[in-house]
Amino acid sequence: MTADEMIDGYVAEVVLLLPQRQRADVARELRDAIAEEVSDAAETRSARDEAVTAVLGGFGRPADVAARYRAPIVVIDPSDSRRLFTLALGGAALILIGAVLGELIDHVPPQRDLDAAVDQATPWLFGWLGVLAAWFAITAWWRRRRPATAWKPRPMPTDRISRPGRVAALVSYIAGTVALVDPPAMLHLFSGGNAAPAAYDALAYDSDFLAVRGPIVLGLLVLTLALQAVVIVQGRLLPWNHTTDLTLGLILCAVLTWVVSEPVFVTGPADRTAKEIVALLILISLVDLAFSLRRHRVRQALSSR
Amino acid sequence: MVGDAHEKLELELRRGVVVLAVLSRLGTLRYGYELRQSLIAAGMPIEEGTLYPLLRRLESQGVLTSEWRGTQGPNRRYYVLSDAGRDLLARLTTTWHGITKAMDDILGEGGRDDG
């Protein structure tokens, strides 16, 4: 390639990235400018090719030069980048975990194929990234159209708790746990003994579940309830509560994942429905744990004055 | 690391003043290459890939006007301040003097603090 061809190629790459109406004018000016710089540089170099290479290197990448001709188009605000990155990673993790849980529910070994389930989740991953990109782009566009007025204060995360709220939650958790211990008894209680026999049969636990997984889940649930009761007595969250909540929450999610990987109820429809509800609870719990951890870190930062 | 930081921060400082430097040299008609050489001679080098797009952006903002001329040599695009550009230059110059005075005071205080 000759020196002139290099210059033309460079100029072509720049103007191709510019609006049609600017191209001819910019191409002419840029080519002349490069030519003048080259003739200047050629005085200190043996070959014109070398001078052209040096001058074009000084101009920079054609895409960068072209970008400088116009105000940059900001699709996503730089201030949103970190949040976008966090949501992208968090959402991707949830989608993959959801895919694994779905496969654990849908198939038993040897038909179970977790790798294939993860592969099948790929379109959802791209879909999630697309939704995020579109959402942040629309947000950025809207923000530019209507710049925010003044910053408005929001309630800060604190360690204080609402005792009545916690007590109400604890009571409902205890009721739920009792219901899980003996579902047919609960059905009898609520139906007044008028439920069909098939309904009672549907709520019979699998014997393997009752032997191992059931007691472990029950033990973890009771431990969680006991810790909630302690928090109510304390009247506020202490540092050890965050650590135990996080640890216990992760252990519970792992155990529940193990639970859905094998039969829970004897009948198929009840088993599937229960597992789907448990899978949903796992995903919600993971989101809740992530937000709790974030709030805890903010509280820690605020209290480190 | 500190060397990298120095380069980046110096580049940012220069970026901040490059528009003012360019405007200050365009009271009379100049073309790009001539303007760049003039800035280099004055101790304010500016990359070629930055200068030409900047001239076009300033023109599109109404700060500069331009025309192709070739009366005494090759045909070149010449730039000069518009009326709005002269007004802008005056205002930016005032701002610049305010900044340099403030910075001189701040840096002077810093020197005294060190002592």
List domains and CATH numbers for chain B.
2-114 (1.10.10.10)
What is the pLDDT of chain A when averaged over all its residues? Answer: 90
Which of A220, A207, A202, A191 shows the shortest CA–CA distance to A281? A220
CA distance A27 to A10: 10
Which residue of B56, B59, B75 to mutate against A (max A Cβ within 10 Å)?
B56
Pairing of strands B64-69, B76-81: antiparallel
pLDDT for res B111: 61
Which of A230, A265, A267 shows the shortest CA–CA distance to A245? A230
Alpha-carbon dihedral B17, B22, B25, B26, rounded to 10 degrees: -140
Q: pLDDT (tens digit, 9 = 90+) per residue, A111-136?
A: 899 999 999 999 999 999 999 999 99
Is residue A58 within 8 Å of B80, Cβ to Cβ? no
Please name the residue of chain B whose CA is at the shortest distance from the CA of residue A68. Answer: B53
Q: Which two tokens stand for residue A7?
A: 């210059």
Q: pLDDT (tens digit, 9 = 90+) per residue, A183-212?
A: 888 888 888 888 888 888 888 999 999 999
With beta carbons under 8 A apart, name residues in chain B contacting A32: 33, 74-77
Q: Tell whether the model's pLDDT for residue B114 goes beyond 60.
A: no
CA distance B36 to A179: 81
Q: Between B17 and A199, where is the model more confident? A: B17
| A69 touches B: beta carbon within 8 Å | yes
CA distance A283 to A72: 39
Q: At A239, is the pLDDT very low, low, confident or very high (cuts 50, 70, 90)?
A: confident
Q: Between A70 and A255, where is the model more confident? A: A255
Is residue A71 within 8 Å of B57, Cβ to Cβ? yes
Contact A32 B50 (CB under 8 A): no
Q: Tell whether the model's pLDDT for residue B69 goes beyond 60.
A: yes
Which residue of B11, B40, B48 to mutate against A (max A Cβ within 10 Å)?
B48
| A39 touches B: beta carbon within 8 Å | no
Q: Tell whether the model's pLDDT for residue B96 goes beyond 90.
A: yes
With beta carbons under 8 A apart, name residues in chain B contacting A33: 32-33, 48, 52
Q: What string of DSSP letters covers chain A?
A: --HHHHHHHHHHHHHTTS-HHHHHHHHHHHHHHHHHHHHHHHTT-S-HHHHHHHHHHHH--HHHHHHHTS----SS-GGGHHHHHHHHHHHHHHHHHHHHHHHHHH--TTT--HHHHHHHTHHHHHHHHHHHHHHHHHHHHHHHHS---S----PPP-SB--HHHHHHHHHHHHHHHHHHH-HHHHHHHHHTT-S-HHHHHHTPBPHHIIIIIHHHHHHHHHHHHHHHHHHHHHSB--HHHHHHHHHHHHHHHHHHHHHHTS--BSSHHHHHHHHHHHHHHHHHHHHHHHHHHHHHHHHHHHHT-
Contact B49 A36 (CB under 8 A): no
Q: CA angle, A142 as apex, A140 and A148 as ends, to 5°?
A: 90
CA distance A55 to A52: 5
pLDDT for res A276: 95
Q: Which two tokens stand for residue A36?
A: 């003048």
Q: At B53, is the pLDDT very low, low, confident or very high (cuts 50, 70, 90)?
A: very high
Nearest to A65 among B32, B49, B75 (CB): B49
With beta carbons under 8 A apart, name residues in chain B contacting A37: 33, 48
Please name the residue of chain A whose CA is at the shortest distance from the CA of residue B68. Answer: A29
Q: At A156, is the pLDDT very low, low, confident or very high (cuts 50, 70, 90)?
A: confident
CA distance A125 to A131: 10
Percent of chain B with pLDDT over 90: 67
Nearest to A29 among B47, B52, B57 (CB): B52
| A70 touches B: beta carbon within 8 Å | yes
Q: What string of DSSP letters covers B73-91?
A: SS-EEEEEE-HHHHHHHHH
When mean pLDDT is compared across A92-106, A148-162, A170-184, the lowest value belongs to A148-162
Distance from CA of A65 to the nearest CA of B (A): 5
With beta carbons under 8 A apart, name residues in chain B contacting A58: 47-49
pLDDT for res B48: 86
Cis, bond preceding A123 (omega within 30 deg of 0): no
Q: pLDDT (tens digit, 9 = 90+) per residue, A75-99?
A: 888 889 999 999 999 999 999 999 9
pLDDT for res A72: 74
pLDDT for res B115: 46
ipTM: 0.79
CA distance A190 to A200: 12
Distance from CA of A302 to the nearest CA of B (A): 30
* pTM passes above 0.80: no
3-state DSSP helix/strand/coil percent for chain B, to nearest 5? 70, 10, 20
Which of A168, A187, A186 shows the shortest CA–CA distance to A177? A186
Percent of chain A with pLDDT over 70: 99
Q: At A45, is the pLDDT very low, low, confident or very high (cuts 50, 70, 90)?
A: low
Please name the residue of chain B whose CA is at the shortest distance from the CA of residue A71. Answer: B57
Distance from CA of B115 to the nearest CA of A (A): 31
Over residues A258-283, mean pLDDT: 93
